[in-house]
Amino acid sequence: MEENKVFSRTTAAGPELSASLYNVAMGAVLCWGFWVNWWMVKNISPASITGIDIRLFFIGYFASCFFGIYLFNKSANPLVSFLGYNFVVVPFGFIINVVVSRYNPSLVLEAVRVTAMVTVGMMALGAIFPEFFKRIHFALTMSLLLMIVVELVQYFVFHTQSGVTDWIVAAIFCGYVGYDWGRANNIPKTLDNAVDSAAALYMDIINLFLRILRILGRKK
């Protein structure tokens, strides 16, 4: 995973916000993404998504995500960054829609609660120990890449899935939540940086949620 240019910024490309307003802005952007995903789950039939040719779906999914990431990484305009954020939120919403349709709603709500508690805890740790998370970033990245390869081999070669990998990937994204939260609070507190930081955290939290849901689903 390439280093996010947002978190290399040392000068403000716009008026700076107070620490509290900056955190409120990040929270609002995150809540928008979660609300969009909730709306998609409630109003779009999973069958209409699974009916799309799998190759076309994943081409569109990755094209939208990479375009969105490019926009919010490169732009210093909060509106452009917010547009990029939505190019990530919508394709993630399609994946979430299909995944949660396989589980009982009560289990999904339990996964949401667990994800929220873990996220808050990791944010607190990220704020207290930002240097620790900075030191483990390379290990997190290498571990995630390794797990992607392992899961691809398991799925396409051995036609199986391991519950152990879900725990490992969940732990990796816990680390990313702490890392991205620590970085978010060590760059200029502008509105654009709030949007960009929220976008990075959104991807961490959604990936963590999906893994926690699978773990709870296996336990049930």
What pLDDT is attached to residue 163? 81
Summarize the confidence of residues 28-33 as an average pLDDT.
97
Q: Does 82 have pLDDT greater than 80? A: yes
Residue 5 lies in a domain: no
Contact (CB, 8 A) for 73 and 6: yes
Residue 209 lies in a domain: yes
Residue 70 lies in a domain: yes
Whole-angstrom distance, CA of residue 50 vs CA of residue 94: 9
The domain in which residue 148 lies consists of 16-219
Residue 182 lies in a domain: yes
Copy the structure tokens of residue 213.
């849901």
- Amino acid (one-letter) located at 49: I
Residue 10 lies in a domain: no
Q: Does 8 have pLDDT greater than 80? A: no
Q: Does 123 have pLDDT greater than 60? A: yes
Residue 197 lies in a domain: yes
Place of tokens 């990998």: 165
- Continuous H helices in the chain: 19-43, 46-50, 54-74, 78-100, 105-128, 130-135, 137-156, 163-184, 191-219
User: Total domain count for the chain?
Assistant: 1
pLDDT category at 9 given cuts 50, 70, 90 is low
pLDDT in tens, 130-177: 999 999 999 999 999 999 999 889 878 877 777 899 999 999 999 999
Residue 137 lies in a domain: yes
User: Which residues, in sequence order, are bridge partners of residue 190?
Assistant: 16
Mean pLDDT computed over every residue of the chain: 92
Residue 9 lies in a domain: no
pLDDT in tens, 32-66: 999 999 999 999 999 999 999 999 999 999 999 99
What pLDDT is attached to residue 203? 97
